[in-house]
Amino acid sequence: MPFPTINQSQGVPQPSKHYGITSPISMALPKEADLALTQKLTEALKPFGVFEEELELQRRILVLGKLNTLVKEWIREISETKNLPASLIETVGGKIFTFGSYRLGVHTKGADIDALCVAPRHVERTDFFSSFYEKLKEHEEVKDLRAVEEAFVPVIKLSFDGIEIDILFARLALQTIPENLDLRDDSLLKNLDIRCIRSLNGCRVTDEILHLVPNIDNFRLTLRAIKLWAKRHNIYSNILGFLGGVSWAMLVARTCQLYPNAVAATLVHKFFLVFSKWEWPNPVLLKQPEDCNLNLPVWDPRVTPSDRYHLMPIITPAYPQQNSTYNVSISTRTVMVDEFKQGLAITDEIMQNKAEWSKLFEAPNFFQKYKHYIVLLASAPTEKQHLEWVGLVESKIRILVGNLEKNEFITLAHVNAHSFPGPKEGNDKEEFSTMWVIGIVFKKMEGSENLNVDLTVDIQSFTDTVYRQAISSKMFEQEMKITAKHVKRRQLQMLLPCNVIQARPSRRKHSTEGPRPMNDSSLDLSLDSDNSLSVPSPPTVPATANRNCPLVVSASPLGFTGPMTAASDKMDTSGSVSPDSTAPAAPKPTQPNKESSSDNSPTPMGPPPVKKASSPPPEDKKNETEEPAQVATSPSSSPPPSGVPAVKRPGSPLPEDQSKKPKVEEGSTGVEEEMASQGDEAMETDIKELDPEQKVPSSQCVPTTDLSDVPLPPANPIPVLKNSIKLRLSR
């Protein structure tokens, strides 16, 4: 007797397609309340310009169509010059693929397009950067054309009918390029140049992400919300150690895999729930890694020891699998996890109808969050040099953050992902500059009356790295400078645009409003809200200068409100000096009565010769506590003088040195209480140079710093002004 047939569609439900490397957390379908919250989320996103109008979208499609036609014409022309058969020339193909935010469908108004030009095997990379570049140059709709052939991923940048486009190039081992080519096919990577594999990676990763999410529309709306939130909270920057666009896309895709039936409002809430509790450094994977036996390096901590030190691994789904977050540091991970937790708290309120979506997208005021900041300034004499210089410096800021994290007295170094135009020098010389701000949190020290922190070596190591890179890449020019300063919260208003300090940070990456003009008091480190002391950077001391003549810093609680003596400002912003120049002499302390008109005289363009300054008169020493400031020399290939002590990690001074430190006002209760203090008495900082002919007490003499433990630049090094940042924090 035959068994009765059972209609399986009416019996046990068919298992749905499995996404990800684990089973879903919940298969729950959305409720009416979830759909209503999703509609409210869409309305909340509209004022931020995250949706592009249909007319603009059609314009992008038209431009990409024109570019695709240009590519096909160019490949046919190349084929003719290489004597290919006429029958093959007509079918040789060639195609423009897109990737990044445009391919994912989450691009915003005015965003650029990432594109890839795919060509058959007889088209060389040199053809792309020569004949195709010339073809683009002849096109009337192409503007701002520039080629970056020596980049890690070579690219041609251009503006096509007002739309910014970055075009990569990949040459496949195929005779023709079919229209239906699927770049996810791993076999396409065989026998390819490494630069072509890198160029293909963006498209392959983007296509894999779209194939690994259950519902593309829900994924896109969720990703738009998360990207906006990340940008508003200043944690959207791969180059600075946060997450870039592809990393945020993979986190959202993983959330969609865990909640395959959820709508965008629920997915945003679950995103914060999942990643606020994620046990880093466990990796985020969208699929099980596959080995294609092509001998390409892949992320695998079992095989590659360096992969074990990645703090927040998010692994790309396409072969060769890579960690997209290798730049993440302890500080940036801490900041992001804290933001995840705050996002969870806010979305909890939203899901309970206790708050609106607008609360999630409120930008916190970074410049009120911390008490201490490091301001980093990169400047160059021309706009073109400035663009190159800023790009290099920004790519290395994560090294500075890493150096600060290693300091035994620092628990957090939070760099703001936004940059700002630098302050004006107040002279006639035109200069282009960009500024970054890093928030610093110091450790709570117990059993110590005062905390002495020296950040000089941390800053110096960073600047040496940047200058070496600039010299080795042959992009360095003499007037390119880097300077760093320690400032307090209340001093930021002297450096940053008013709308940044008083209001919420702008949504735009670069502020359009310029800062206040810099005068002698703009960088006055005495304008402070507590009694800690910051010593400005000393100038570089040339080999011909008297090495036994230190700079002496005098500090007295005078409630100083007038202009600071110009020496420290000029030294900190000069960046570098000529090899044969002499260090500028520091001016005498500001006097309350006469001889103050010299501060208003124009500052000479070149550093003046060293002049012998007399010691302060006895009556001026009565209310002063003297502290020698460390003088760092420019790195050179010559060995340091014998008998010079090596640089050690900054720490608290020895007991006999503590008497030399400036005393702070009694009643200070530590960094934590300084955070709440807003009206403490300011400290006046003056720089003086001792007369070498007078007998200097041995307690005031500081030998030249030995830089033997700092890697030296290549031959013919350029003199670099070392940033000396020493802090004295009272408990």
CA 593/CA 653 separation, integer angstroms: 37
CA 432/CA 520 separation, integer angstroms: 19
Q: What is the DSSP string of 201-252?
A: HHHHHHHHHHHSSS-HHHHHHHHHHHHHHHHHTT-B-TTTTSB-HHHHHHHH
Element of type H or E holding 376: strand 372-380
Catalytic residue among 34, 102, 127, 236: 236
Concerning whether 217 is annotated as a catalytic residue, the answer is no
Q: Per this entry, what is the length of the chain? A: 731
Element of type H or E holding 45: helix 32-45
Catalytic residue among 161, 166, 348, 706: 166
Catalytic residue among 95, 102, 114, 467: 114
| E strand segments, 639-714 | 684-689
92, 134, 404, 472, 493 from 368: Cα distances, Å: 60, 51, 20, 39, 11
Identify how many contiguous H helices and E strands the chain contains and give both numbers: 18, 16
Concerning whether 529 is annotated as a catalytic residue, the answer is no
529, 622, 669, 731 from 666: Cα distances, Å: 15, 19, 9, 10
Concerning whether 186 is annotated as a catalytic residue, the answer is no
Quick one: which of 679, 682, 662 has its CA closest to 531?
A: 682
- Residue 377 forms beta bridges with which residues? 435, 483
Concerning whether 166 is annotated as a catalytic residue, the answer is yes
Catalytic residue among 40, 66, 112, 159: 112
End-to-end CA distance of the chain: 91
User: Are 314 and 326 contacting, i.e. CB atoms less than 8 angstroms apart?
Assistant: no
Concerning whether 182 is annotated as a catalytic residue, the answer is no
User: Are 168 and 137 contacting, i.e. CB atoms less than 8 angstroms apart?
Assistant: no
- Residue 284 forms beta bridges with which residues? 314
CA 234/CA 223 separation, integer angstroms: 16
CA atoms within 13 A of residue 587's CA, in its CB half-sphere: 22
Quick one: which of 286, 280, 334, 326 has its CA closest to 306?
A: 326
Please classify residue 12 by burial: count the beta carbons closer than 10 Å to its beta carbon, then call 0-12 exposed, 13-18 middle and 19+ buried: exposed
Question: Which amino acid type is present at position 382?
Answer: T
Catalytic residue among 19, 34, 95, 101: 101
User: Are 423 and 517 contacting, i.e. CB atoms less than 8 angstroms apart?
Assistant: yes
CA 84/CA 472 separation, integer angstroms: 42
DSSP class of residue 149 equals T
Catalytic residue among 95, 199, 227, 481: 227
Element of type H or E holding 372: strand 372-380
Concerning whether 227 is annotated as a catalytic residue, the answer is yes
CA 515/CA 494 separation, integer angstroms: 8
Residues forming the active site: 101, 112, 114, 166, 227, 236
